[in-house]
Structure 1
Amino acid sequence: MAQDIDHWLLSVEAAEVPNLRPEESFWSKDCKRKRMRLTPPPDDEPEMASPKKRKTGYATAASAHSETEASLSSFDEQHGDNNVTPRPRHTTRLSRSASHHSTQSGASSPRKHLAAMNLFERRIKMGNFSDTGMMPGSLLALRQRLVSQLLRGRKILGLTSKPVFQQVDVLHDDFGTLMADADFFFSTERDALGTTPTPDDAMYILESAAECAGHDQAECGWSSDVHHEILSQALRRRQPGRTYKTLVKFMACSTATLMKEYKLPSAPDKKVDYCIYLDPAYDTDDPDMGNLIDNLRSQLPLYSINITGEISLLKTPLAIPIEIKRSGEGGDDAALQVATWLEAQMELLHRLISRCASSGPSLDDIGFMPGLIIQGHSWNFVAATRRGNETVIWSDMCVGSTSDVIGIYQIVAFLQILRQWVVETYWPWLKELIRRAHFDASASDNT
């Protein structure tokens, strides 16, 4: 038997090895590595079966890399079926250089998406808060209020909280700054917005943010330790038995997906981390609004009053989307996510208006829809306005930072300013729209 094996090995011809450049032998589909194929042994030697050909990931990696480069060549092809839940592709291991190149390519895709979304009949255009010429009056008024007061730190503390602050300057040097110019920072106007966090609460947020930054924590760490705490301080008054019995609430919604009926066809599937919403059950002025919403949403996609079919949000109208990113990362992607949600929200409101048989509420009455982008310490205000089929996303206004005490109080005050706008402007307008859309649709069905 040993002689037979030796005879078989001597009969094997050396395989020809192609002379390829290094990059061709690794990446080229047409120049796959050729393997030496041995002539199988005689039939009477079953234990010498031909070696199995091992699959390699090189050609597949090259194909995936090429797909990444071409992924934005056609938005319709890439996102043609928006109703399909996105799933990860089967992946293959890339080399370090390939992974690095793929990451760079993916990082630029949000800008390409935003640019391409301005080319369609229904489109998104990016604007900047510094360009006030085309800004609606209501958004311009809010901008002026922020620039003249909040962004300077003026009136960010309620006057009723002043006695507490007079005893805590030893906690942090920033409290000494606040008390040195108390007339500038404290005001009764601020008390009308809501409760001012105590110095202990502000210090907890400051230290939590420093901990997250110091340990380079992921988004989930920032979200649970810092962002959720600020939202709670601003929008939840902790009273036993009453904490959640309020009209304006917030919740984490990272699993909520946009409906294809409202999402811009050219936009990718995007989600956001938090949202501020309205709970009609706690509107004491309109106790029947919950029933009206139920009747109206029975005629809407997925029986939802919103742009998402998320079960927890079917009957509680959205007001403000919030996206979270780590410090210095994903700014373009966050802008794309919030822009996609705000545009879809504008489309929903536009369609509800179109259901009204006669002249009813107009988007001009509210002027804009707000959103927030949080990157590490920095909280940034964005807003959407609509002109015809074009939605303009206004961005680049930082309203505060969790890297200092004053910035924390600026953020809380701004969140309460937004809540005031939701309660006094958006909700009364939306209730009228819901009422008109419901009754006009019912009258049309009965004719």
Structure 2
Amino acid sequence: MYATEADVARWLSSITDLKHDPLPLPTESDRVDYEGRQRKRRKLSTHRHKLPSPPASEPTRAMADMPPSSLKRPRDPEDPADRAHGALSSSQSDGAHDQITPRPGRFQQIQTAEWIPFSAGSSHSNQSWTSSASSHSAPVLKRPKSVSSRTSPSRQIRNAEINQTGFRMGSFRLDTYPNSLNALRCELRDIGLGDGILPASLENELRRADSEMPRFAFDRDEGTRAQTEAIATDLPPIDWVQALMKRADECELNRECEASWNGEIHAPILEQAFRINRFVSNGPVDFRYAQAAQIIHAYKPREAPSKMVDFCVFYWPGKGSAEEQAIEDICQTRPAQSINHTDLGDLCKRPIVLSIETKRPNVERDNATLQIGTWQSAQWRSLRHNRSRSLRSIEFLPGIIVLGHDWQFVASILDENGKSVLLKGVRLGGTESELAIYSLLLGLRRLRRWILEDYWPTFVSDVLAVS
């Protein structure tokens, strides 16, 4: 298995004596070009001198044919040299093994918690993990990375719940909220049900138009008929309602994008509720497309992505009025010089009252909740900006989530810790039937009246401090 003394002697005698037969000097082609170019090394031919190496023996060739396990010498655990060699081999093996160990995917790396010892200190410490781990300290869980816009909506909502600048989910059935909000909620709920919302004088007209309006939609009560007649004035004709319903069905069946729903379904409904015609508002309450309205940096949630909504309903104070002047004065000391939590277009000087987030049907319900919840929590921070006292009279912020045909009223309040709570669960109406469209229009008009009679006077006294 090993070379004999005679084999070694024969090998030594075969070595060329370099003293009497030196190696040839390098030629010019082997030299380095001083201009920075390296010539190729000439391939040594078989007749040139080579460095000596011991001859291969038969036992050596036989060893190559043996399995690797049989080549190992049994190690003595009591031998210090064997123990040291074993430790070195183990570390080298582990190092090689690390090169082929599968690594977790990007999402797994974000989700996986990393344990570090207490003694490791902050991430700015220069102390290595090895030296930290050598101290026998109890482990602590490192803070997870902040979520991004690509994180799942459910995890983003969870992050918003534990973040003070976020919001938490609430319910009209489980949470406590102001009486004023409860009164508005009940009115909107009744309108959404469609019971007696239309004057009886419209029944014959709708029947002639082959309408499928149910009989309970008409108010036949003598005590409330006059009020219903007044509220239902200037409703769009039945042919407009039927055309809108047909187009909404096409959007759903053809799986059209959110922009189609916004431009051809949602915007015309808002025009009917807040404008005299397509371009002229019906008084100081109007709406704007707000898909590009970013939250101002000062009001963005910490450690969470910012969000936007699709439409904003605002109040437009009269030109030259005391309210307009107060807004201009306040904006001089506010972030981005805006009265709101965004500064897109004229939203920087017209207070936002109602925010609307829209999605296609049957998709992204959590995303819609996340967007309007984040948006309104920023609006609360905007309302409380630079205030030494809390808001006295603004008790809630209304909002709407639209999922295809379905329109849901939501509202955010502040809990005892000043955190925004988003309450959900009241149907305003929809676009899947004639009755649902009329319910929706009357519900939006009720919100417009609430803005004029309740919210704006409160905003003027509480935020603008104008008597």
Structure 2 counterpart of 1:115, from 155, 158, 178:
158
1:264–1:340 contact (8 Å) kept in structure 2: yes
State the percentage of identical aligned residues. Answer: 26
Structure 2 counterpart of 1:189, from 203, 219, 227:
227
Q: How far, CA to CA, are the matches of 1:74 and 1:203 in structure 2?
A: 55
Matched, 1:153 2:199: no
1:212 corresponds in structure 2 to 251
- How far 1:294 moved relative to its partner? 0.9
Q: How do 1:293-332 and structure 2 match up within 5 A?
A: 293-332=327-366
Read off the aligned partner of 1:424 and give its amino acid letter.
E
The higher relative CO (CA closer than 8 Å, separation ≥ 6) is in: 1
User: Counting helix residues as a fraction of each chain, which structure ranks higher?
Assistant: 1
2:367 corresponds in structure 1 to 333
- How far 1:255 moved relative to its partner? 0.4
Structure 1's 64 and 188: CA in aligned 2 closer, same or farther, altered over 3 A? farther
Read off the aligned partner of 2:162 and give its amino acid letter.
L
Q: How far, CA to CA, are the matches of 1:134 and 1:226 in structure 2?
A: 35
SS across alignment from 1:269: coil
Q: Give CA deviations for 1:128-179 in whole Å, capped at 9, x if unaligned.
A: 1222x512211111222233x213213433x4xx54552232434423x248
Structure 2 counterpart of 1:202, from 241, 244, 253:
241
Q: How far, CA to CA, are the matches of 2:232 and 2:220 in structure 1?
A: 18
Q: How far, CA to CA, are the matches of 1:397 and 1:311 in structure 2?
A: 31
Could you list the runs of 5+ residues in structure 1 that have no partner in the other structure?
1-28, 34-58, 80-85, 87-105, 357-361, 440-447
- How far 1:254 moved relative to its partner? 0.2
1:258–1:308 contact (8 Å) kept in structure 2: yes
2:176 corresponds in structure 1 to 134
Larger Rg: 2
Read off the aligned partner of 2:159 and give its amino acid letter.
A
Q: How do 1:245-264 and structure 2 match up within 5 A?
A: 246-264=283-301
Q: How far, CA to CA, are the matches of 1:180 and 1:66 in structure 2?
A: 54
1:232 corresponds in structure 2 to 271
1:166–1:179 contact (8 Å) kept in structure 2: no
1:392 corresponds in structure 2 to 421
Q: How far, CA to CA, are the matches of 2:356 and 2:408 in structure 1?
A: 10
State TM-score, norm by structure 1: 0.68
Q: How far, CA to CA, are the matches of 1:75 and 1:319 in structure 2?
A: 36
- How far 1:225 moved relative to its partner? 1.1
1:165–1:179 contact (8 Å) kept in structure 2: no
Structure 1 counterpart of 2:304, from 267, 283, 286:
267
SS across alignment from 1:341: helix
SS across alignment from 1:430: helix
Q: How far, CA to CA, are the matches of 2:217 and 2:463 in structure 1?
A: 49
Matched, 1:174 2:216: no
- How far 1:277 moved relative to its partner? 0.8
Q: How far, CA to CA, are the matches of 2:196 and 2:325 in structure 1?
A: 40
- How far 1:323 moved relative to its partner? 0.6
2:134 corresponds in structure 1 to none
The number of equivalent residue pairs is 340
Q: How far, CA to CA, are the matches of 1:118 and 1:316 in structure 2?
A: 30
SS across alignment from 2:176: coil
- How far 1:417 moved relative to its partner? 1.2
Q: How far, CA to CA, are the matches of 1:75 and 1:374 in structure 2?
A: 33
- How far 1:348 moved relative to its partner? 1.5
SS across alignment from 2:368: helix
State TM-score, norm by structure 2: 0.65
Q: Give CA deviations for 1:99-133 in whole Å, capped at 9, x if unaligned.
A: xxxxxxx6x722212222222344522111222x5
SS across alignment from 2:297: coil
- Further displaced range: 272-281 or 326-335: 272-281
1:50 corresponds in structure 2 to none
1:47 corresponds in structure 2 to none
Q: Give CA deviations for 1:216-254 in whole Å, capped at 9, x if unaligned.
A: 111111111111111111111229xx8236210011110
SS across alignment from 2:383: helix
Structure 1's 68 and 229: CA in aligned 2 closer, same or farther, altered over 3 A? farther
Structure 1's 68 and 141: CA in aligned 2 closer, same or farther, altered over 3 A? same
1:235–1:416 contact (8 Å) kept in structure 2: yes
- Further displaced range: 399-408 or 327-336: 399-408
Q: How do 1:89-128 and structure 2 match up within 5 A?
A: 109-128=152-171
1:4 corresponds in structure 2 to none
Structure 1's 246 and 384: CA in aligned 2 closer, same or farther, altered over 3 A? same
1:418 corresponds in structure 2 to 447
Q: How far, CA to CA, are the matches of 2:454 and 2:217 in structure 1?
A: 36
Could you list the runs of 5+ residues in structure 2 that have no partner in the other structure?
1-97, 114-141
1:374 corresponds in structure 2 to 402
Q: How far, CA to CA, are the matches of 2:266 and 2:307 in structure 1?
A: 20
Structure 1's 314 and 123: CA in aligned 2 closer, same or farther, altered over 3 A? closer
SS across alignment from 1:280: coil
2:191–2:443 contact (8 Å) kept in structure 1: yes
Q: How far, CA to CA, are the matches of 2:205 and 2:439 in structure 1?
A: 21
